[in-house]
Amino acid sequence: VIRYCESRLTPEASAKASILLEALPYLRRFSGKIVVVKVGGEILRDKEAVTALIEDLSLLHLNGIKILLCHGGGPQISEAMARLNLVPHFVDGQRVNDPETLEISANVLIGDVNRNLTNLLNVKAPIALGISGCSANILLCKERDPRLGAVGAIELVRTEPLLKMLDNGYIPVIASLGTDGCGRTFALNADIAAGELAGALRAEKLVILTNTEGIYEDPSLKTRLISEIDATSLISLGEKGAFTDGMLPKVESILTALSNGVMSAHVLNGRVNHVLLLEFFTRAGIGTMIYP
């Protein structure tokens, strides 16, 4: 059986090669490193964004990057509560978790968001293990504030089960719930959980996917997008009141990660297709990078 061709060397080939070559030094740098990615519930409703995200995570994983995916599910929880005619309460930007709310949150986070993320990753290769921070007491918590109900403050991250999963080639997909080790479940802010996980695992990067282009100097105007900023300058910005409620836990998460040895943190727009790939493998970078 013989097949012929006239010429297959198109001008595009050279362009392809040069893009693959640009990715080379980044591959070298990140292979074998741990990267914690946080994805919020709102992005997970954008089907195109999720498809691109799943492709990117698979590609990073195939290149030997150890991925840990941490997710929340705020909009999904609010919607489930709305269906039951329940009104969520917030204190200081944190959802109050009475027993009924916690039950709904847990069901939606693990039973719905986590399961679907896990299933989608497993279409590429059977590598995703969907768990919550309750598994093996990975996220050990105490009660954060009596006014908030079952909202946890992380006291200890038990990294051993995560490291074993990563070493065995799996991607842990972690719903942002924790436990006090005595059987009780706590809701956790997914941004903060991601920062604690990245710090405890001494991750190379913490990537927070959100729905803005990155951090703006003045978020109300959305004029001055910050490309790179160090932790000290970020703290100063915060003291000037630059951050909105949604950004506050992201900033806290980033500072926790950086002060525990994480090399860089990134705030990216999760709705930009293949934003992870572009951040990891292209020279320009994208969004806001925060370094220690």
Q: How is residue 40 annotated by DSSP?
A: -
Does position 166 interact with a copy of itself (CB under 8 A)? The reply is no
Does position 220 interact with a copy of itself (CB under 8 A)? The reply is no
Does position 20 interact with a copy of itself (CB under 8 A)? The reply is yes
Q: x/- contact string, 80-99, with a copy of itself (CB under 8 A)?
A: ---xx---------------
Q: How is residue 108 annotated by DSSP?
A: I
DSSP 128-141: EEEEETTGGG-EEE
Q: Which of residues 242-271 bind a copy of itself (CB under 8 A)?
A: none
Q: Which residue has the tokens 């719930």?
A: 177
| Residue (135 or 189) nearer to a copy of itself, CB | 135
Residue from the set 6, 85, 99, 221 that interacts with a copy of itself by CB under 8 A: 6
Does position 221 interact with a copy of itself (CB under 8 A)? The reply is no
Q: In the bound complex, what is the minimum distance in angstroms from residue 93's beta carbon to a copy of itself? A: 24
Q: How many residues does the chain have?
A: 292
Does position 285 interact with a copy of itself (CB under 8 A)? The reply is yes
Task: Answer for the pair 146, 91: CB distance below 8 angstroms, yes or no.
Answer: no
Token pair for 34: 């741990």
Q: How many residues form the binding site for a copy of itself (CB under 8 A)?
A: 94
Q: Strands 139-143 and 152-157: what pairing? A: antiparallel
- Written as one letter, the residue type at 122 is N
Task: Answer for the pair 196, 154: CB distance below 8 angstroms, yes or no.
Answer: yes
Q: Which of residues 48-67 bind a copy of itself (CB under 8 A)?
A: 52, 55, 58-59, 62-64
| Residue (18 or 220) nearer to a copy of itself, CB | 18
The stretch near a copy of itself (CB under 8 A) out of 187-195, 204-212, 240-248, 280-288 is: 280-288
Q: In the bound complex, what is the minimum distance in angstroms from residue 153's beta carbon to a copy of itself? A: 18
Residue from the set 11, 99, 146, 183 that interacts with a copy of itself by CB under 8 A: 183
Cβ within 8 Å of residue 245, ≥6 positions away? 93
C-alpha to C-alpha distance for 292 and 290, rounded to whole angstroms: 7
Residue from the set 130, 149, 152, 249 that interacts with a copy of itself by CB under 8 A: 130
Does position 32 interact with a copy of itself (CB under 8 A)? The reply is no
Residue from the set 109, 197, 257, 267 that interacts with a copy of itself by CB under 8 A: 109
C-alpha to C-alpha distance for 116 and 114, rounded to whole angstroms: 5
Token pair for 172: 């842990």
Does position 5 interact with a copy of itself (CB under 8 A)? The reply is yes
Residue from the set 185, 189, 212, 253 that interacts with a copy of itself by CB under 8 A: 185
Does position 132 interact with a copy of itself (CB under 8 A)? The reply is yes
Cβ within 8 Å of residue 38, ≥6 positions away? 69, 70, 71, 72, 190, 191, 193, 194, 206, 207, 208, 209, 253
Task: Answer for the pair 258, 231: CB distance below 8 angstroms, yes or no.
Answer: yes
